[in-house]
């Protein structure tokens, strides 16, 4: 979880498994809720450590210490880890098993020299003789760097069946997508040649054409800047998007697709159209697409 609110939402659903706050606490007051709901907490800044040591808790909590080995985003400097771990070990309301984690900046480029540099730094840390559980691997490292698995791995995007690598899809890695983004045909029009379609008229028919309107747009989370002819999946065919993606709809060329009717389902991404391909077409990453659905998109 990125924050306490997300963790509490998970607990409210009845989930009682391990739940880690990866950005830790944002105020000392949050510690009581962390303890009450038996959450695990990452600490990565001196002020978080000070808050934790200064506030007795009703239940012991499991704490993870994040070390900055080269990501330069969150984490204690390596030279501080011995002191931090020792302080936590001596704290009565901290679990006796301390977690130690880092994050690889280039795990999705496993041959990048920074990967081995970070691993060396992590493995050469000066650590006190206490019980420590270690974690390094994100999705990319799980798949490409088995020597980073340590005690605990942290799969993220691969849980969605999506690849963490720019040059492969999840399906190519043996993963199965767990999400389908689907809409439906809401209108069908027959146009002659030389008719401009959509905002700005950037695309026009070159022959008598059948144009379908799909009830989805960037207001739902479909990227506006996909390349021309980016496909959707309709009735067993890959069908090109034509014209600009609008807020609430987009248009597709149905001319070569037989027997399309109003209400036919359209897959924007999922089993037949990998989300990675849509991300590439929009010059972004699949992570962003999976995070930007609007509240009006119905989830089933």
- Given the residues 82, 160, 199, 218, select the one marked as catalytic: 199
To the question of whether residue 244 is assigned a binding role by annotation, the answer is no
76: its two tokens: 């204690």
Instruction: Write phi, then psi, for 276 (nearest 5 degrees).
Output: -60, -35
The residues, any chain, with a CB within 8 Å of residue 128's CB and separated by 6 or more, are: 82, 85, 86, 89
Give the architecture-level CATH label for domain 4-155: Alpha-Beta Barrel (3.20)
Taking only the tens place, the pLDDT of each residue in 236-287 is 999 999 999 999 999 999 999 999 999 999 999 999 999 999 999 999 999 9
Q: Which helix (H) or strand (E) holds 4?
A: helix 4-12
DSSP string, 130-194: S-EEEE---HHHHHH-GGG--SB----GGGGT--SSTT--TGGGT------EEEEEEEEEEE-TT
**Where do the CATH 2.40.37.10 domains begin and end in the chain?**
181-291
The class of domain 181-291 in CATH terms is mainly beta
Quick one: pLDDT band at residue 102, thresholds 50, 70, 90? very high
Report the percentage of the chain scoring pLDDT > 70. 100
Taking only the tens place, the pLDDT of each residue in 1-54 is 999 999 999 999 999 999 999 999 999 999 999 999 999 999 999 999 999 999
Among candidate residues 68, 62, 66, 67, the one with its CA nearest the CA of residue 91: 62
**Where do the CATH 3.20.20.10 domains begin and end in the chain?**
4-155
To the question of whether residue 176 is assigned a binding role by annotation, the answer is no
Whether residue 82 lies in the annotated active site: no
pTM: 0.90
């Amino acid at each position: 979880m990125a924050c306490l609110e997300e963790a509490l939402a998970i607990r409210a659903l009845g989930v009682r498994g391990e739940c880690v706050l990866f950005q830790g606490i944002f105020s000392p007051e949050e510690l009581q809720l962390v303890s009450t709901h038996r959450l695990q907490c990452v600490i990565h800044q001196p002020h978080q450590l000070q808050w934790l040591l200064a506030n007795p808790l009703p239940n012991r909590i499991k704490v993870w210490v994040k070390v900055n080995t080269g990501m330069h985003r969150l984490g204690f400097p390596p030279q501080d880890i011995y002191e931090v771990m020792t302080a936590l070990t001596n704290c009565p309301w901290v679990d006796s098993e301390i977690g130690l984690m880092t994050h690889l900046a280039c795990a999705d480029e496993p041959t990048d020299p920074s990967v081995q540099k970070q691993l060396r730094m992590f493995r050469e840390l000066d650590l006190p003789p206490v019980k420590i559980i270690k974690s390094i691997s994100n999705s990319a490292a799980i798949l490409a760097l088995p020597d980073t698995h340590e005690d605990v791995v942290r799969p993220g995007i691969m849980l969605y069946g999506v690849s963490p690598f720019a040059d492969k899809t999840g399906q190519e890695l043996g993963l199965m997508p767990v999400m389908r983004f689907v809409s439906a045909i809401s209108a069908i029009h027959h146009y002659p040649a030389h008719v401009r379609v959509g905002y700005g008229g950037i695309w026009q028919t070159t022959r008598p054409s059948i144009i379908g309107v799909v009830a989805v747009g960037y207001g739902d989370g479909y990227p506006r800047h996909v390349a021309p002819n980016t496909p959707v999946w309709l009735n067993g065919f890959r069908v090109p998007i034509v014209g600009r993606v609008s807020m609430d709809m987009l248009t597709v060329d149905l001319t070569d697709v037989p027997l399309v009717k109003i209400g036919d389902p359209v897959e924007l991404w999922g089993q037949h159209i990998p989300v990675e391909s849509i991300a590439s077409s929009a010059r972004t990453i699949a992570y962003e697409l999976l995070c930007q659905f609007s509240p009006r998109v119905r989830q089933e």
